[in-house]
Each structure stands twice: as structure tokens, then as C-alpha cells.
């Protein structure tokens, strides 16, 4: 026998002897160490899919063997949550954003993942603008600002000159303030701020807290921004982005509204980012699965997750045992019963009820509605503000927050006339009468109440050829605040086990990116907890 072969046999013999030794780890225990940590994510929007994606990513990158098994429960049939599209004319070649429509350069998770996933990004310029003005801001009596539609550099400079002439140095002050805020915000993605167990501590560390207890109006006054610029431009932005006035919304969110640099969207729909995140996280996705109950078993310290329609005959829908649950949807709307009760559930916060109406029409915005001469050009999109000096309580005095022209669909498949696709944000359902006035088509008004109350469905197809209405709990009323809902709702704060919560970040900033950031943050805390044993 060669010396090498005899050495191998000797080592094998020793290892077999060692295997017979009682002091070795029993087989059952070996298996239990290798059991993956089971995570249930409730909610397939930006937060839930980002949590799934980053759990997988951080676990794969870990130097320690971290095994995770992820199940994602989503109430609807689609992934994306408030990021979703509808098909105009039911044509899947014509998707239009019904919820979150843009993200910006200062959104690293969304920008990087769309590039990593090979999704096509588009700028946020409107297609087929038919007016000399791309957008205008209307205060109910007049346009206080109009932006030229031409791509001519001179007209671009002219817009800047107009801004400076009208508002002095205020635009520059706000731009600097916004850039400084973005730099501070980006600290929340990196050590030592990231990952964070308590949101208010992260906000403090990123030096963003001074913006939080003030309204946008107070912040702008404090920073020497003119009332006129704040009212005309910043408030138009807080109204179109959050359906809130500057006297209500907190200072930080008012600056977020001004951080529009490099606005973009995914061609075909932003939901694809979150769909890809879920797919790449190797999760078991339970679609159309509304979670009704989360129940902790005291003995095993595991959570059962029950979905609507669970019953004994269907073994697939039996409660499952999870070590960790992530609630990635606003607690107050998720309608989940927790057993035992959560020690300190998130407080109820007011959300905006936003009516979004998408529709097509061959008609253009009527100059008469805006008090303009017949042949005048109405800006392609109209944002609104209040007349200078009017209190912020009058948030819906114009009956809409914004009217956007999204694109023009050429004649052909769906109509023999060009059809313009519009999106209106309002606090109430749109009335037929308002639309008739806004677009200058006839409204056969009768003085009974049903006629005044008639909605978009009563309008002849000649005027409104297609429509889709949706009411969202779109975002919280972003009132000034310095505390936020807990990130860990149940379980030891240093343990990966227990119940985690992402939606508290919405009363700080409510965007796809910040929800995705909170999903990533929770994922990091869980993986770190598993690494530390």
C-alpha cells in the first residue's frame, strides 16, 4: 500500500471512530442548526419587495452562513401596491401610471435597481405637447407662472430670468437648501446611520430633524424665501405631489417636493422594479392573499399567518410557522388581528383620500375655464396654488389639485380622432359638469340634484372616450412631527425574530424610495441579527 493511500485510510478510520463518539452533535440538532430562518412579508409594494430582495442579497453577501426562507403575501393579484398601471382603452400597449409615477436621481435604490434589472428608463417630459406652455400654475383667478414648452435653450434661459425677475434670489435659496437636504438624506443609506433601529434617531443623525417640527411655510420664512415664491411655486408642488398646502405639510416634505432633478419613470410602469425585486429574491409569492391573522405560538415562538379563505380542507392555505413577520403595509389599513395583541401598535395617522381620474378625450383644456381669450394657449398641464395670502385650510377650493396631459394617442386602433390622455388629482370624484367646463364641451344641465352630481360615467363617449377612476389612501397628511412608529412591533429589539414594520417611514417621507429604504433597513437588521447568532 502506498504511503498516501494508507494515510487516507487512517484519516477515514479516525473520522469514523469520531463519528461513533457520543460527544458529537446529534443528527437532529445538526438539522435544526441548518433550518432556514423563515420570514413572512405581508405586502408586495415597494417596502415588502425591497425587504425580500435585500434579505436575499444581504444573506448571500454574508460571510457567515445565513439561510432564509421568504414567503410574501399580497392581497391583490399584482405586485407593486400603490405603484401600478392601468391599460388605456384596455390595451396593454398603452399602460398609464395610476399611482406613483416618478422617482428622481436622488433615489439610489430605485435608480440602481432599475439599471441592474435592465429596465428602460424615460425622462418625465410629456409627449406631444400641444401648447406653447408645458405647464402653468393657476391660483384660481390667473396663471401665476407658465413654463415654456420649447426645448430652445434661449427659452430655457428666459424661464430662469423670469423666475429671478419675479422671485428674486428665492429660487436659488431653495435650490441650495434642497441640495443640502438631499446630501443629508443620503446619509441614511450608509454607516453609521444605516441600519437604524429607531427612525427618529436616524433622522437626528442625518441632521434632518430641524426640518420636521416646522410647516413648509414656517421653514421657508425662516430661510428668507419670499412668500410669493413659496406660495406660487413650492405650494403648487406640495399640492400636486401630496395634495397638501404649505401651511400644513412639514418642512422636509416641502423640500422633497422641490427635489425634482433627474425625474424619471420606468417605461411600461414603475411596478416592474418591485416585480423584479420579488422575483430575484427567490420568494414564495402568495398573490390574492389577504392576511387576516398573525398568531404567535408561545411554545415554539413561531408565527402563524392566516389568509382570507383559509380553511381546513385546503392544506395549502394552512397557517405556516414563521420566525419573523414583516408588516409592509400601513397597519391601520391592513386589518390584521394580532394574537397576542401588539404591545404598542402604530398610532392611527390621517391619510389623504386622493381621487385619481385617468381619461381620454379629443378635447383640449378650454381657455374660457381659465378666464383666457378664445385663441389663448392653455398650458398643457395645470398645477394649482392658492391666491397669495389665503390660508392653507382651503386645500380643495379649485375642485382639483392638478390636470396633467400625459400623451396623445394617434387615430387608428381605438378612435378615428387623436385622443389626449389626461390625469386629474382631486379630493372629490370629478363631476361631469366640471369636466364639461374644463374642456369646453356641452353639458346638458338640469336643475335637479342628480344632474349636478352626475359623474364622469354620464358623459357621452364623443367627449370622454375612455376613463378609469381610483380613490387611494395615497399618503399621510404630512403634518410636522418628530416621532414615528416603531420599526419593531413585537419581539426583542436585538433579535431578528418578531414582528417588524416598514410604514412608519411614510410620515417622515412618503415615496417609493423611502418605503424601499425601510424594507432594506429591516432586511439589514434581520440579517445582522442572524449573523450575530
Ligand X SMILES: Cc1cc2nc3c(=O)[nH]c(=O)nc-3n(C[C@H](O)[C@H](O)[C@H](O)COP(=O)(O)OP(=O)(O)OC[C@H]3O[C@@H](n4cnc5c(N)ncnc54)[C@H](O)[C@@H]3O)c2cc1C
Question: By CB under 6 A, which span of 22-30, 44-52, 177-185, 368-376 interacts with ligand X?
Answer: 44-52
263 binds ligand X (CB under 6 A): no
Q: Tell me, by CB under 6 A, how many residues bind ligand X.
A: 38
246 and 231 in contact (C-beta within 8 Å)?
yes
Assign 485 to helix, strand or coil: coil
Grid cell of 362 as nine digits? 379629443
Binding test (CB under 6 A) with ligand X, winner from 37, 38, 54, 82: 82
304 binds ligand X (CB under 6 A): no
503 binds ligand X (CB under 6 A): yes
Question: By CB under 6 A, which span of 45-53, 150-158, 297-305, 450-458 interacts with ligand X?
Answer: 45-53
Residues 8-27 that bind ligand X (CB under 6 A): none
Binding test (CB under 6 A) with ligand X, winner from 51, 59, 68, 75: 75
Nearer to ligand X, 45 or 346 (CB): 45
77 and 337 in contact (C-beta within 8 Å)?
no
Nearer to ligand X, 287 or 461 (CB): 287
Nearer to ligand X, 40 or 464 (CB): 40
Question: By CB under 6 A, which span of 81-89, 389-397, 399-407, 523-531 interacts with ligand X?
Answer: 81-89
Residues 97-156 that bind ligand X (CB under 6 A): 99-103
**What's the CA gap between 263 and 124, in Å, rounded?**
6
Question: By CB under 6 A, which span of 134-142, 328-336, 429-437, 453-461 interacts with ligand X?
Answer: 328-336
Residue 163 sits at φ, ψ, to 5 deg, of -60, -50
Residue 228 sits at φ, ψ, to 5 deg, of -65, -45
**Shortest spacing between CB 97 and ligand X, in angstroms:** 8
Binding test (CB under 6 A) with ligand X, winner from 58, 73, 359, 422: 73
244 binds ligand X (CB under 6 A): no
Nearer to ligand X, 74 or 323 (CB): 74
Binding test (CB under 6 A) with ligand X, winner from 203, 206, 257, 329: 329
**Shortest spacing between CB 52 and ligand X, in angstroms:** 11
Grid cell of 323 as nine digits? 420566525
How many Å from the N-terminal Cα to the C-terminal Cα in the chain?
46
Nearer to ligand X, 110 or 378 (CB): 110
The string of DSSP codes covering 427-480 is SSPPBHHHHHHHHT------SSHHHHH-BGGGS-TTT--EEEEEEEEEEE----
83 binds ligand X (CB under 6 A): yes
The β-bridge partners of 326 are: 41, 500
The string of DSSP codes covering 286-339 is ETT--EEEEEEETTTTEEEEEETT--TT-GGGS-EEESEEEE-S-HHHH--EEE
Residues 344-363 that bind ligand X (CB under 6 A): 354, 356
Sign of the alpha-carbon torsion through 71, 75, 81, 85: positive
Nearer to ligand X, 143 or 425 (CB): 425
**What's the CA gap between 47 and 471, in Å, rounded?**
21
48 binds ligand X (CB under 6 A): yes
215 and 249 in contact (C-beta within 8 Å)?
yes
499 and 295 in contact (C-beta within 8 Å)?
no
Among residues 435, 287, 300, which one has the least CA distance to residue 358?
435
Question: By CB under 6 A, which span of 68-76, 228-236, 317-325, 378-386 interacts with ligand X?
Answer: 68-76
Half-sphere exposure of 149 (CA within 13 A, CB side): 18
How far lies 233's CA from each of 167, 229, 252, 475, in Å? 10, 6, 16, 21
Q: Is 34 exposed, middle or buried (0-12, 13-18, 19+ CB in 10 A)?
A: exposed
State the DSSP H helix or E strand holding residue 499, giving kind and residue range, or none if neither.
strand 498-501
**Shortest spacing between CB 297 and ligand X, in angstroms:** 20
Binding test (CB under 6 A) with ligand X, winner from 291, 386, 421, 430: 291
**Shortest spacing between CB 457 and ligand X, in angstroms:** 21
512 binds ligand X (CB under 6 A): yes
Binding test (CB under 6 A) with ligand X, winner from 114, 226, 510, 521: 510
Binding test (CB under 6 A) with ligand X, winner from 89, 472, 488, 528: 472
Question: By CB under 6 A, which span of 334-342, 372-380, 436-444, 483-491 interacts with ligand X?
Answer: 334-342
Give the binding site for ligand X (CB under 6 A): 42-48, 73-76, 81-83, 99-103, 290-291, 328-329, 334-336, 354, 356, 472, 474-475, 502-503, 510-513, 515
Amino acid at each position: 500500500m502506498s504511503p498516501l493511500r494508507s494515510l487516507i485510510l487512517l484519516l477515514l478510520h479516525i473520522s469514523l471512530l469520531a463519528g461513533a463518539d457520543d460527544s458529537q452533535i446529534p443528527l437532529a440538532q445538526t438539522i435544526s442548526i441548518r433550518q432556514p430562518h423563515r420570514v413572512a412579508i405581508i405586502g408586495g409594494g415597494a417596502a415588502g419587495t425591497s425587504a425580500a430582495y435585500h434579505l436575499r442579497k444581504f444573506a448571500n453577501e454574508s460571510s457567515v452562513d445565513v439561510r432564509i426562507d421568504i414567503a410574501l403575501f399580497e392581497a391583490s393579484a399584482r405586485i407593486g401596491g400603490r405603484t401600478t398601471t392601468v391599460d388605456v382603452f384596455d390595451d396593454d400597449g398603452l399602460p398609464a401610471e395610476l399611482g406613483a409615477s416618478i422617482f428622481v436621481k436622488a433615489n439610489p435604490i430605485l435608480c440602481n435597481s432599475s439599471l441592474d434589472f435592465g429596465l428602460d428608463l424615460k425622462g418625465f417630459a410629456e409627449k406631444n405637447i400641444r401648447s406653447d406652455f408645458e405647464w402653468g400654475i393657476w391660483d384660481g383667478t390667473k396663471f401665476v407662472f407658465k413654463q415654456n414648452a420649447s426645448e430652445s435653450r434661449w427659452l430655457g434661459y428666459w424661464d430662469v430670468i423670469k423666475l429671478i425677475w419675479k422671485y428674486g434670489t428665492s429660487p436659488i435659496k431653495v435650490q441650495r437648501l434642497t441640495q443640502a437636504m438631499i446630501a443629508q438624506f443620503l446619509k441614511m443609506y450608509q454607516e453609521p446611520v444605516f441600519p437604524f433601529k429607531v427612525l427618529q434617531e436616524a433622522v437626528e443623525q442625518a441632521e434632518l430633524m430641524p426640518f420636521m417640527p416646522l410647516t413648509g411655510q414656517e421653514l421657508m420664512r425662516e430661510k428668507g424665501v419670499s412668500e410669493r415664491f413659496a406660495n406660487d411655486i413650492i405650494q403648487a408642488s406640495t399640492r400636486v405631489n401630496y395634495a397638501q398646502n404649505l401651511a400644513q405639510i412639514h418642512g422636509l416634505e416641502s423640500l422633497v417636493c422641490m427635489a425634482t432633478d433627474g425625474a424619471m419613470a420606468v417605461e411600461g410602469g414603475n411596478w416592474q422594479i418591485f416585480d423584479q425585486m420579488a422575483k430575484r429574491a427567490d420568494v414564495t409569492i402568495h398573490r390574492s392573499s389577504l392576511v387576516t391573522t398573525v398568531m404567535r405560538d408561545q411554545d415554539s415562538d413561531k408565527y402563524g399567518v392566516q389568509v382570507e379563505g383559509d380553511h381546513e380542507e385546503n392544506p395549502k392555505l394552512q397557517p405556516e410557522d414563521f420566525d419573523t413577520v414583516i408588516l409592509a403595509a400601513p397597519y391601520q389599513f391592513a386589518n390584521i388581528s394580532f394574537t397576542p395583541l401588539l404591545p404598542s401598535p402604530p398610532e392611527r395617522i390621517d391619510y389623504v383620500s386622493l381621487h385619481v381620474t385617468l381619461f381620454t378625450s379629443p378635447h383640449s383644456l378650454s381657455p374660457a375655464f381659465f378666464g383666457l381669450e378664445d385663441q389663448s394657449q392653455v398650458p398643457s398641464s395645470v398645477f394649482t396654488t392658492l391666491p397669495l395670502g389665503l390660508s392653507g385650510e382651503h386645500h380643495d377650493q379649485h375642485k382639483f389639485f392638478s390636470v396633467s396631459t400625459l400623451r396623445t394617442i394617434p387615430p387608428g386602433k381605438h378612435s378615428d380622432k387623436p385622443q389626449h390622455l389626461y390625469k386629474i388629482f382631486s379630493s372629490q370624484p370629478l363631476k361631469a359638469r366640471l369636466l364639461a367646463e374644463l374642456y369646453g364641451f356641452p353639458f346638458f344641465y338640469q336643475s335637479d340634484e342628480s344632474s349636478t352630481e352626475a359623474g364622469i360615467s354620464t358623459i357621452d363617449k364623443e367627449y370622454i372616450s375612455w376613463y378609469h377612476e381610483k380613490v387611494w389612501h395615497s399618503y399621510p397628511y404630512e403634518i410636522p412631527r418628530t416621532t414615528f412608529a416603531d420599526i419593531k412591533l413585537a419581539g426583542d429589539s436585538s433579535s431578528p425574530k418578531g414582528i417588524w414594520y416598514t410604514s412608519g417611514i411614510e410620515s417622515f417621507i412618503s415615496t417609493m424610495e423611502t418605503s424601499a429604504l425601510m424594507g432594506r433597513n429591516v432586511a439589514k437588521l434581520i440579517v445582522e441579527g442572524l449573523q450575530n447568532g
